[in-house]
């Protein structure tokens, strides 16, 4: 039974799921746009939004929270330095555009990008 277990399993263990989401979020914040599956994008969206909200706060505690969540200091520094592009927006920092099914396994694919 999955009582009180939030989120999708993504077909892996909980540690692997956490690593997948961390990789998707890091890739998105590094490149501003990635192509991934719909389930991974929908699960990574709250993590990306939290990191950008922490960057808008800009204090040391928020930076440490972001480093703990992403595990990549360079990406965190890039987001914290370029946070002015999100200043006029209160939330909804990501956009998910559906592409269609993947050829091999028919998984629904999307493009996930940061909104300016």
Q: What is the pLDDT of residues 4-21, one digit of tens each?
A: 888 888 889 989 999 999
Beta bridge partners of 114: 94
Between 2 and 103, the more confident residue is: 103
Selection from 108, 30, 39, 113 nearest residue 75 by Cα: 30
Cα dihedral angle (116, 70, 53, 110), rounded to 10 degrees? Answer: 40
**Positive or negative: CA dihedral 84, 87, 89, 91:** positive
| 45 neighbors 96 (Cβ within 8 angstroms) | yes
Q: How confident is the model over 59-115, as pLDDT tens digits?
A: 999 999 999 999 999 999 999 999 999 999 999 999 999 999 999 999 999 999 999
What pLDDT is stored for residue 18 in this prediction? 94
DSSP one-letter code for 1: -
The vertex-85 CA angle with 81 and 88, nearest 5°, equals: 125
Q: Which pLDDT belongs to residue 71?
A: 94
Kindly tell me if the per-residue pLDDT of 44 is higher than 90: yes
This prediction has a pTM of 0.91
């Amino acid at each position: 039974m999955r009582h009180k277990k939030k989120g999708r399993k993504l077909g892996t263990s909980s540690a692997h799921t956490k690593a997948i989401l961390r990789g998707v979020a890091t890739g998105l914040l590094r490149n501003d746009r990635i192509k991934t599956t719909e389930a991974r994008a929908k699960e990574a969206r709250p993590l990306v939004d939290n990191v950008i909200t922490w960057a808008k706060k800009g204090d040391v505690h928020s930076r440490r929270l972001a480093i703990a969540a992403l595990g990549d200091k360079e990406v965190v520094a890039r987001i914290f330095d370029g946070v002015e592009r999100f200043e006029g927006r209160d939330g909804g920092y990501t956009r998910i555009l559906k592409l269609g099914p993947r050829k091999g396994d028919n998984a629904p694919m999307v493009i996930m990008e940061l909104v300016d």
